[in-house]
Amino acid sequence: MAAEKPAGRSADGAGWDGGAGADGRGGAAAPAFPEERPGRRAGRTRRGGADHSNGAAGTDGGGAAERSGGASRSGRTEEPADPESRARDICLRLLTGAAKTRKQLADALRKREIPEEVAEEVLTRLEEVGLIDDAAFAHAWVESRHSVRGLSRRALAQELRTKGVAGELAEQALAQLDQDDETEAARALVERRLRTTRGLERQTRTRRLVGMLARRGYSEGLAFRVVREALDEEESGGGEYGAAYGDTAYQD
């Protein structure tokens, strides 16, 4: 009987030396039935540990949230308090992405509630150092929009007015385009769209092609002349565009 009592206590996981255990090693760290109560204790320990970990994580998370909130609040307080510094920072951020006209920057400062006199001072300073150059902006805008989109002088003039460039600066930028440039651009647009109208009546084709040119700012007279010439050439030339490109419609 004396031998059975220690065995029972060892099975219950009590703190016995136990000599050699079930696996031949000593100590209670290797109980005879690990799937029973010691396993349940381990489960409780894991759950307890998880709860404790969650609690710690929650505490740390809260602290991190507080620290983050503090950093965020600190970040807001670090924003330049005086209107002049704020205005300068706003303009420099906008100019980093792409060139802007003075009007575009002035509108942005107005939305940010920068006082008008401060905005004028900052914008004038940026012009003096060359960061605002409406003439260069207008020249580049006309060149790009005409070559890529095929816009006419009239359409480009309207876009420049919207950007805040008008008067002499706009005229100087538009002077790089002449009547021949507009005619060639209109012809290129019609040639690219001509195949998409194949199979339609001539009147319908004319209306669609002229409308396309009108949306790009071309005058009615120039549009009708260019479209008529293109259709006449197609009819008399045995389908010049069809021979070059087939019947695949061009996707503009």
Owner of token pair 């396309």: 212
pLDDT of 22 above 80: no
Q: CA 88 from chain center: how many Å?
A: 24
- Name beta bridge partners: 20: 26
Model confidence over 175-215: pLDDT tens digits?
999 999 999 999 999 999 998 998 899 999 999 999 999 99
Asked if 213 and 186 touch (Cβ cutoff 8 Å), the reply is: yes
**Tens digits of residue pLDDT in 214-239:** 999 999 999 999 999 999 999 887 54
For 136-185, the pLDDT digits (tens) are 999 999 999 999 999 999 999 999 999 999 899 999 999 999 999 999 99
Least trusted range by pLDDT, from 92-101, 108-117, 167-176, 243-252: 243-252
Rounded CA-CA distance 206/95 in Å is 44
Q: Are 41 and 13 contacting, i.e. CB atoms less than 8 angstroms apart?
A: yes
Distance CA 144, CA 137 (A): 11
